[in-house]
Amino acid sequence: MNDLETRMAATPGSEGSVDWESLRARLIERAEGDRLIELAYERHDTPFGTLLVVSGGQGVLRIALDAEQEEDVLGDLSRRVSPRIARTGRDVIAEARVQLDSYFRGDLQHFDLPLDWQLTRGFRREVLHETAAIPYGSTASYAEMAERAGSPRAVRAAGSALATNPLPIVVPCHRVLRSDGAVGSYLGGTSMKEALLAMERERTND
């Protein structure tokens, strides 16, 4: 919650005070209608903890695997994209939450969401585009991703792009392994990466 939202949500203790939560909701709705809010976000509970889902002008912009880092994530987006951020429901966020739930249940194998790619560019964006094309239940190596993105020798740069993937799960960087087959690092932790891969293997073998 940012400073403005904190002040708006702080209800005075005296009787007959303003219903600040209702006022906040009306102000947010009006700001959305007037297109004054550029970034919207919601928290979303999953089997791996609470995620933070952020939408931009073109679609889902950011998925943070640890909502406890909310202040840092929103602060970074405020600097890089826009300070006009609010916690509010948008259709694209609602749809992202539905699809995330379906994925974690093992029922969804391909996300169909509009994505906002403005947090990445150049070779890094190419790596992530190629990563998004890795089929459910399949894996690739960092070297393969560098080659598919057009720079076979840029394995380290490919690894950096995946380590800073702003759209984990939806852009499945967990499907990229080291050349020796080891799981490697992951934004949500090695155990989460292993669990996601195991779930996908189980579903594709059913």
Strands 85-87 and 39-46: parallel
Sequence-distant (≥ 6) Cβ neighbours of residue 98 within 8 angstroms = none
| Strands, E assignment, 6-95 | 39-46, 49-55, 60-64, 85-87
Q: Catalytic amino acids?
A: 173
Sequence-distant (≥ 6) Cβ neighbours of residue 181 within 8 angstroms = none
Q: Report how far residue 109's alpha carbon sits from residue 30's, in angstroms, rounded to the nearest whole number.
A: 37
Amino acid at 18: V
Q: Report how far residue 51's alpha carbon sits from residue 4's, in angstroms, rounded to the nearest whole number.
A: 22
